[in-house]
A and B are shown apart, each in its own frame.
Chain A
Amino acid sequence: MAADILLTFITVVFALMVVFSKRTVVAAFSLLMTLLSIAMIYFQLGTVFLSAVQVLINAGAIAILFVFVMMLINLENFTNNREKNKTKLIIATFTVLVILGVLALVINNNIETLSLVNLADNSMKALFEKLFTTYYLPFEMATVLLLAAIVACVVIASHGKKAEEKQ
């Protein structure tokens, strides 16, 4: 039980730093720490493969992309003191708090049935075997989605370059 509270505390602290930190690079690195602590939570819950995948893809590739963009777009010399209109801040926090309250109520009512955690995790081999036989179609659609993302990124990112060469 102590590990649960410790991990939750670490994740909450870094998540708050992502949202409420002044400089964007600090937000990017705290997002990296949040994803790593979520990977630790996955490991503690027993899903070992997902924790390794989370470390490799989320923390090892997506967060690097964010830091790369930070470096390419030098955010430092942007004046960050844009006026913070108070009304938007209050309304936004109010609505989000309402949503949080509703969700918390939902979970609170049936916390007993939810936390009936039977850790009957059968071997991952059977689980993965099911991934590629019964759920093969969604997996192939996800691959086609990745293909579309590859084509889109190459076209969007190198679009400006061709325009420059023409001038």
Chain B
Amino acid sequence: MEFASFAVFFIIACTLSAVLLGISSLLGQKRKAIREMDIYESGVNPVGSATRQYDIKFFLTAILFLLFDVEIVFLLPWAMAYNGAPDQTFMMWGFVFFMAILLVGYIFVINSKALKWEE
């Protein structure tokens, strides 16, 4: 049942944004002015293609986010099962060991200055 309600909610959200776009394209005036069609580069004529080379740090941030996010999200079942767990001591020590491994990775990332955005 929740799936049906979520599907209805999703469809209504999509139609809402589509309707808003539709109204504005109907009401807005149409003018094929040449100047408006160009790339906006604060008045200067654009130089080179838009997708030029970017710094590797953006990519490294996304990768490290993925790996640390996997580790933190799989703490969630831990949190849910932890409160009523019969042998909580094993789970607690297991958690400390898990965090040790996570901290080793984190310290390596910080020391390797991979994410150090120079001034």
- B77 touches A (CB below 8 Å): yes
A143-B71 in contact (CB<8A): yes
**Which chain A residues in 21-74 approach chain B with CB under 8 Å?**
40, 43-44, 49, 53, 56-57, 60-62, 64-65, 68-69, 71-72, 74
Q: Which one, A61, A124, A126, contacts B65 given CB within 8 A?
A: A61
A61 to B62, CA, bound (A): 8
Complex Cα distance, B66 from A60, in Å, reads 9
B77 touches A150 (CB 8 A): no
Residues of A within 8 A of B26 (CB): none
- Asked whether, in the complex, the Cβ of B80 is within 8 Å of the Cβ of A125, the reply is yes
Partner of A158, one of B53, B68, B112: B112
B-side contacts of A61, CB under 8 Å = 62, 65-66, 69-70
From the candidates B60, B77, B85, name the one contacting A154 in the complex (CB within 8 A). Answer: B60
Given A61-B66, A74-B51, A153-B64, A147-B105 contact (CB < 8 Å): yes
Q: Contact size class for B?
A: 35 or more
Q: Which residues of B contact A (CB under 8 A)?
A: 2-4, 7, 49, 51-54, 56, 58-60, 62-71, 73-74, 76-78, 80-81, 84-87, 90-91, 94, 97-98, 101-102, 104-105, 108-109, 112, 114
Binding site for B on A (CB under 8 A): 3, 40, 43-44, 49, 53, 56-57, 60-62, 64-65, 68-69, 71-72, 74, 76-77, 124-129, 131-133, 136, 139-140, 143-144, 146-147, 149-151, 153-155, 157-158, 160-161
